[in-house]
Amino acid sequence: MKRILAVAWALVAALAFTGCATNTNTTPAVENGPLIIARQGSFFVGGRDVKSDNLSLLPAYAPGGTISVEQMYVHYQVPVQASRPPVVFIHGCCLTGKTWETTPDGRMGWDEFFVRRGFPTYVIDQASRGRSAADPSGIVAVKGGRAAPDTLPQVFGAAQEGAWAIFRFGPKFPEVFPGMQFPLDAQAEFWKQMVPDWLNALPTPNPTVPALSQLAQKLGGAVLVSHSQSGIYPFQTAALSRAGIAGIVAVEPGACPAADTDMTPYAGLPILVLWGDYVPLSPRWAPRLKTCADFVAAANRAGARAEMVMLADVGLPGASHMLMQDRHSLKIGAWLADWIDAHVAR
Amino acid sequence: MKRILAVAWALVAALAFTGCATNTNTTPAVENGPLIIARQGSFFVGGRDVKSDNLSLLPAYAPGGTISVEQMYVHYQVPVQASRPPVVFIHGCCLTGKTWETTPDGRMGWDEFFVRRGFPTYVIDQASRGRSAADPSGIVAVKGGRAAPDTLPQVFGAAQEGAWAIFRFGPKFPEVFPGMQFPLDAQAEFWKQMVPDWLNALPTPNPTVPALSQLAQKLGGAVLVSHSQSGIYPFQTAALSRAGIAGIVAVEPGACPAADTDMTPYAGLPILVLWGDYVPLSPRWAPRLKTCADFVAAANRAGARAEMVMLADVGLPGASHMLMQDRHSLKIGAWLADWIDAHVAR
């Protein structure tokens, strides 16, 4: 009986899904029924071989040889009803692709929500982070006495106390902004998402950028959705080549391109710079708001179709910097899905 | 029309799935139709807070504070027809959970195959690997001149040339065993799966072991499937507590418990030690075959239901050490799914 009910659910979901393919309301069938996937999997983009004599100090593993570094891990899901353009989710500082998965309090992440809305989703781990390999040779060389300590890679961890204000849970640890929607009850689970950040140990541009360009070209028309530290990457990717880029969504970007730089890469491109709440109250974030506003204006003068939106202005107040995990994350996701529908050509 | 066809496919798949729930044949509908998921997502198990003054040398991030380490990342998918016990996939040396996903030559991984066979699957990243955070403080302390180079974490990378023989693609790089089934044409994609290994920088037992115990108890009856370096973990987990462990499958374990140790943790437990081909030809692997055979005999004398199987003896020759990615990986997966059906109580 349980099995029959489960199949009935799948059928109902499949039918509801058809009916909802052009309907942007969030119906329970789309968000709560079984998830029907046409294809899923993972692969790498980019990467290069490096030869080193400093790979291991252990007898069981040879000290020298070849490793592959700078590749970008990509996990994807394509819904049966892929009626929308593919979306590439790019995490920020000290985090991995986990950012977009199940929220710390156990609710559906944007990775699944957008699939349910008909978008193929591609979740990446930045080069040297998560399932994208870092290069250990700089550590092995120093431990083995073959290089000076100051040659060690510039790795860092973001302390929870300091990250509190960066993620705008409140003005400073452990104060909380009134009405702030991040699920702080589940903060222990959130802190576990944080990993050491190798950003400053990598070449410029970050190898994630050419890898994103390769991925966009493979997908043939993707929306690049960045967050925080990765905010500049989609713009750098477009400057490298517009091929395969259908739109850019910068969720709380750590940086926008300077307004006096070349804006021709953005001509005709739909661009959204999206902000949560309390931004003007943050000494770290307020100046970025200004730079991004200047960028949006300059890009539009060059023919872009750029806009900047504060979520509080569209009826979604209380958003933290981790807005894809806030209590109202699916409402924000639904708003964003509608924005993409309205602005990005299928 | 395309949409109608897609939905028709989903319905056919759902119906075929029902029909196949107790049928172990690999039908096209199960392996190639849409994938129907009841629940998917990710979470962490374990972890502990560490305070350090050596988290960062960068002005933008505080040098001191709290980070969470030793947690284990888990990604899961539960099929609509979860007619079988949950399976936990535990990767080996220098790899991540990517091991079990799409093969280097782009075919379905065991993570999806077992879901299609009715098993909820849980794919983990070992502590300090992939999306499970490592602790950067030992690197920051040395780079900052506050600790000696020999205190650096014992991190290593496995060179491709040396890994060649470990993965038994051939006796030594670049020789190939006759009939060996790993898709070497796609080896560049495989080498990108390899990440720095922090195993030797971690406390004993590896924090992955208590985390596996927590996960098994949460799942209430899981089959722990290890590979290579992680081979000993499920046995160590059972020694910690039998709660939640329904069976152990050690795929080419780097070690089995010594035959003269306490065997009571394994009484009544279904255990499979599974080997690919060419093992007796490998100086690294042949001794492990012997140790595991001794373990299986000792465990059975203590009431376990253990067996050791060479895939070549069950009609599946040519398997490398990375047998979940070999050209005949789904045939091996089907054989393993049948073994679980026959030996592990639902």
Using DSSP, state whether A336 is helix, strand or coil: helix
Residues of B in contact with A195 (CB under 8 A): 131, 133-134
Tokens of B6: 């897609």
**What per-residue string of b and e applies to A113-133 under the rule 16 or more CB within 10 Å gives b?**
bbbbbbbbbbbbbbbbbbbbb
More confident: A9 or A127:
A127
Per-residue model confidence (pLDDT) at position A30: 67
CB contact (8 A) between residue B55 and residue A125: no
C-alpha to C-alpha distance for A241 and A239, rounded to whole angstroms: 5
The yes-or-no verdict on residue A22 having pLDDT over 90 is no
Helix-, strand-, coil-residue percentages of chain B, each rounded to 5: 35, 20, 40
Per-residue model confidence (pLDDT) at position A14: 44
**What per-residue string of b and e applies to B309-325 under the rule 16 or more CB within 10 Å gives b?**
ebbbeeebbbbbbbbbb
Q: pLDDT tens digits for B147-189?
A: 999 999 999 999 999 999 999 999 999 999 999 999 999 999 9
Calculate how close chain B gets to A265, using CA atoms only, in Å.
30
- Testing the interface with A: which of B192, B202, B330 to mutate, by most A Cβ within 10 A? B192
Q: pLDDT tens digits for A30-67?
A: 678 999 999 999 999 999 999 999 999 999 999 999 99
Quick one: what percent of chain A has pLDDT higher than 70?
91
Residues of B in contact with A36 (CB under 8 A): 10, 34-37
Residues of A in contact with B157 (CB under 8 A): 52, 55-56, 61, 67, 135-137, 140
The yes-or-no verdict on residue A213 having pLDDT over 70 is yes
The yes-or-no verdict on residue A306 having pLDDT over 50 is yes
C-alpha to C-alpha distance for B226 and B232, rounded to whole angstroms: 8
The yes-or-no verdict on residue A317 having pLDDT over 80 is yes
Per-residue model confidence (pLDDT) at position A32: 81
**What per-residue string of b and e applies to B221-248 under the rule 16 or more CB within 10 Å gives b?**
bbbbbbbbbbbbbbbbbbbbebebbbbb
Interface of A with B in 156-185 (CB under 8 A): 156-162
CB contact (8 A) between residue B192 and residue A133: yes
Pairing of strands B121-125, B35-52: unpaired
Per-residue model confidence (pLDDT) at position B27: 41
Per the listing, tokens 């379905």 go with B108
* The model's pTM: 0.93
Pairing of strands A65-79, A35-52: antiparallel
**What per-residue string of b and e applies to B267-298 under the rule 16 or more CB within 10 Å gives b?**
eebbbbbbbbbbbeebeebeebbeebeebbeb
Phi-psi domain of A121 (left: phi exceeds 0; alpha: psi -120 through 50; beta: other): beta
Closest to A195 (Cα-Cα) out of A285, A325, A93 = A93
pLDDT band at A327 (very low <50, low <70, confident <90, very high): very high
Per the listing, tokens 């395969």 go with A244
Beta bridge partners of B297: none
C-alpha to C-alpha distance for B149 and A71, rounded to whole angstroms: 28
Q: How far is CA A52 from CA B84, B150, B156, B162, in A?
A: 46, 20, 12, 13
C-alpha to C-alpha distance for B45 and B98, rounded to whole angstroms: 18
Per-residue model confidence (pLDDT) at position B29: 46
CB contact (8 A) between residue A142 and residue B142: yes
**If you count residue pairs, one on A and one on B, with CB atoms under 8 Å apart, how many are there?**
267
Report the range of poorest mean pLDDT among A73-87, B16-30, B101-115.
Answer: B16-30
More confident: A275 or A24:
A275
pLDDT band at A8 (very low <50, low <70, confident <90, very high): very low
User: Which amino acid, residue A284?
Assistant: R
Residues of A in contact with B6 (CB under 8 A): 38, 80-81
B11 vs A14, A67, A200: nearest CB: A14
User: Residue A189 in contact with residue A109, Cβ under 8 Å?
Assistant: no
- Nearest-CA residue of chain A relative to B67? A159
Residues of A in contact with B137 (CB under 8 A): 157
Residues of A in contact with B66 (CB under 8 A): 159-161, 191
User: Residue B95 in contact with residue B195, Cβ under 8 Å?
Assistant: yes
Start-end of H helices in chain B? 2-20, 28-32, 110-116, 137-143, 160-166, 187-191, 208-219, 233-240, 286-301, 329-343
Interface of A with B in 46-75 (CB under 8 A): 47, 49, 52, 55-58, 61-62, 64-68, 71, 73, 75
CA angle B31/B37/B38 to nearest 5° reads: 145
The yes-or-no verdict on residue A16 having pLDDT over 90 is no
Per-residue model confidence (pLDDT) at position B78: 98
Average pLDDT of the residues in B27-49: 87
Full DSSP string of B68-107: EEEEEEEEEEEETT--S--EEEE--TT--GGGGSS-TTSP
The yes-or-no verdict on residue B253 having pLDDT over 70 is yes
C-alpha to C-alpha distance for A184 and B268, rounded to whole angstroms: 43
Per-residue model confidence (pLDDT) at position A225: 99
Residues of B in contact with A65 (CB under 8 A): 159-162
Residues of B in contact with A61 (CB under 8 A): 156-159, 162
Q: How far is CA B3 from CA A39, B13, B217, in A?
A: 15, 15, 42
Report the range of poorest mean pLDDT among A3-12, A46-55, A258-267, B35-44.
Answer: A3-12
Calculate how close chain A gets to B168, using CA atoms only, in Å.
15
Contacts from B142-149 at CB under 8 Å and sequence distance 24+?
B142/A142, B142/A149, B142/A152, B143/A149, B143/A150, B143/A152, B143/A154, B143/B57, B144/B54, B144/B57, B145/A149, B146/B54, B147/B54, B149/A142, B149/A143, B149/A145, B149/A149
The kind and range of the H/E element at A41 are strand A35-52
CA angle B20/B23/B28 to nearest 5° reads: 55
Q: pLDDT tens digits for B70-101?
A: 999 999 999 998 999 999 999 999 999 999 99
Calculate how close chain B gets to A302, using CA atoms only, in Å.
33
Residues of B in contact with A38 (CB under 8 A): 6, 34-35
CB contact (8 A) between residue A80 and residue B10: yes
The yes-or-no verdict on residue A25 having pLDDT over 80 is no
Residues of A in contact with B145 (CB under 8 A): 149
**What per-residue string of b and e applies to A241-273 under the rule 16 or more CB within 10 Å gives b?**
ebebbbbbbbbbbbbbbebeeebebbeebbbbb
CB contact (8 A) between residue B156 and residue A56: yes
CB contact (8 A) between residue A66 and residue B162: no
CA angle A190/A125/A251 to nearest 5° reads: 65
Tokens of A272: 């959204």
Calculate how close chain A gets to B302, using CA atoms only, in Å.
33
Pairing of strands B245-253, B222-228: parallel
Per-residue model confidence (pLDDT) at position B9: 46
Per the listing, tokens 């190898």 go with A207
Q: Does B191 touch chain A (CB under 8 A)?
A: yes
pLDDT band at B23 (very low <50, low <70, confident <90, very high): very low
- Nearest-CA residue of chain A relative to B192? A68
- Nearest-CA residue of chain B relative to A50? B159
Residues in chain B: 346
Calculate how close chain A gets to B303, using CA atoms only, in Å.
35
CB contact (8 A) between residue B139 and residue A133: no
pLDDT band at B30 (very low <50, low <70, confident <90, very high): low
Q: How many CA atoms lie within 13 A of B94 on its CB side?
A: 24
Q: How many CA atoms lie within 13 A of A303 on its CB side?
A: 7
Closest to A180 (Cα-Cα) out of A335, A316, A25, A341 = A316
A41's CB contacts (< 8 A; 6+ apart) are A75, A76, B101, B102, B106, B108, B109, B112
Per-residue model confidence (pLDDT) at position B2: 45
CB contact (8 A) between residue A41 and residue B145: no
Closest to B73 (Cα-Cα) out of A75, A97, A329, A110 = A97
Average pLDDT of the residues in A126-142: 98
Calculate how close chain A gets to B131, using CA atoms only, in Å.
4
Tokens of A162: 């300091």
Residues of B in contact with A131 (CB under 8 A): 96-98, 125, 130-131, 193, 195
C-alpha to C-alpha distance for A200 and A193, rounded to whole angstroms: 20
Quick one: what percent of chain B has pLDDT higher than 90?
90
Interface of A with B in 310-339 (CB under 8 A): none
A57 vs B142, B156, B192: nearest CB: B156
CB atoms within 10 A of CB B216: 27
CA angle A32/A36/A38 to nearest 5° reads: 155
B73 vs A40, A98, A156: nearest CB: A98
Phi, psi of A311, deg, nearest 5: -60, -30
pLDDT band at B24 (very low <50, low <70, confident <90, very high): very low
User: Residue B7 in contact with residue A14, Cβ under 8 Å?
Assistant: yes
Calculate how close chain A gets to B316, using CA atoms only, in Å.
25
Per-residue model confidence (pLDDT) at position B17: 40
Q: How many CA atoms lie within 13 A of B302 on its CB side?
A: 19
Interface of B with A in 73-132 (CB under 8 A): 73, 75, 80-81, 83, 96-98, 101-102, 106, 108-109, 112, 125, 130-131
